[in-house]
Every structure is written in structure tokens, then in C-alpha cells.
Amino acid sequence: MVLLFLTTACGGSDTAEPLDVYAAASLVDVLPEVDPEARFSFSGSDLAAAQIREGAPADVYASASSKYPQELFEQGLVEEPVTFASNRLVLVVPSESPPKVESVKDLLRPGTRLVIAAEGVPAGDYTRIALARLGLSAALENVVSNEQDVNSVATKVALGEADAGLVYATDAARNGNLRAIELPATSQPPIEYQVAVVVASDDTDAARAFVEKLRGPEGREALEHAGFEVP
């Protein structure tokens, strides 16, 4: 299980503690643009939600799915979540070698090494929905690894440890070692990113300000620059 921690705290107050933001791994290049002084813990959205349930000192939770924020809201652990972005799935293959997979139908070919996110991870659940809509659920028999976040899927494909993977379009765009193959629009599940203030936050005012900034012009610009769609 891989967690990616990013901490930046330069130029801030000597007394105020930086916000702790628990977020989906696919947001690693965006959220620091919104608040470079915050402390970020990037992982699968399901893992971040589990940590908040266990009392992790989070101030803000940003998820690649509406499922987990809504569950936390119903449990009284976060304030009402709001949608701030959407994404889409793409099939990716290594860019530096002749691809063994040239279309999504090739995922059914015996011996194809497919890597995807695990069940429960939003990207993994979206992947299984997309394959089912394409009538390609049998491709799951070629899965050689179920990863704990979407960044790990992209990395394994980029390193040539798999012939193909399914990731968000934004992950494919920021990795020069990947070539993206578009999926039919009819296969795409709705991908809704939601953010919420954690009720147990030590600074709910600052957490709410982060959410507003993410949804405001600066946050929208950072999201669009990274390839996300914004409402």
C-alpha cells in the first residue's frame, strides 16, 4: 500500500498550523496549486475515507467519487460535500515500445497483462463499470495487479510492468511515458469529484476557505489546466 505525502509550509504564519488535506491520488498536481502551504496526504479515496473514520487529523477531504464523501456526511464526520470536478477514463499503454494493446478489445487477448485499481478504489470501480458496459468484463481475467490508487496503475504501465491499464485522462496527460486510447463515450461512468470539510477539523474556517478557493476561479483554473472538467 503506497501513500504519497506532500508537505509544504513556507511563507506561512509562525503560529497557524497548515491545513491537513486528505485527497485522491489523481489530485496530486492540482491541490498544491490551491494552497501551497497545506499538508497533503494523497492516496485512494477509499483509504483516505477510512483514515478519517479512524480519527486521522484531517481538515479537508477531497475524493474522486461522491460515494465516500456522502457516506462520511451521513455518519456526521464531514460537512455537506460539494462537487468540484469531473474526469473520464482512458486506456493507457507504454509510449516507448510497440504497443501489445491497440484497442480496448485487445484486453481480451490471452496473455495480455492488464493492471487496474482495486475494487473500492473509485478508479477501480469505474473501470469495472466501463468494461461491463463494453461487454469486456472477461478482460478482468488478464489483470495481473489490482493497485491501491490510480497513480500506481499509471506508473506500472509507464514502466512496462503491464501491457495496458485504465486510468483517468488527467493521469495519462501528465505522464509522458503513456499513450492514451479513448474509450467509447457510452462506456464512461459518471465521475464526480467531491470535497468536504471534516467536522473534527481544528480550523473549520480555514478548511471552508480552502473549499471555496478550490471551487473559485483559482481552483477552477488549476483543475482545467490539469485536464479536469469543472461544473
- How many CB atoms lie under 10 A from the CB of residue 89? 25
DSSP 137-152: GGGGGGEEEEESSHHH
Q: Which three three-digit cell numbers place residue 91?
A: 486506456
pLDDT at 190 over 60: yes
pTM for the whole structure: 0.89
pLDDT band at 90 (very low <50, low <70, confident <90, very high): very high
202 Cβ partners below 8 Å, 6+ apart?
Answer: 17, 57, 59
pLDDT band at 85 (very low <50, low <70, confident <90, very high): very high
pLDDT at 45 over 50: yes
**Whole-number pLDDT of residue 15:** 53
Express each pLDDT in 95-132 by its tens digit.
987 889 999 999 999 999 999 999 999 999 999 999 99
Q: Where are the domains of the chain?
A: 4-86+191-225, 89-187
pLDDT at 1 over 50: no
Under CATH, domain 4-86+191-225 is a member of which superfamily? Periplasmic binding protein-like II (3.40.190.10)
pLDDT at 8 over 70: no
Under CATH, domain 89-187 is a member of which superfamily? Periplasmic binding protein-like II (3.40.190.10)
Q: Which three three-digit cell numbers place residue 8?
A: 509544504
Instruction: Determine whether 226 is exposed, middle or buried from the number of CB atoms within 10 Å of its CB (0-12, 13-18, 19+).
Output: buried
Cβ(156)–Cβ(164) below 8 Å: no
Instruction: Determine whether 44 is exposed, middle or buried from the number of CB atoms within 10 Å of its CB (0-12, 13-18, 19+).
Output: buried
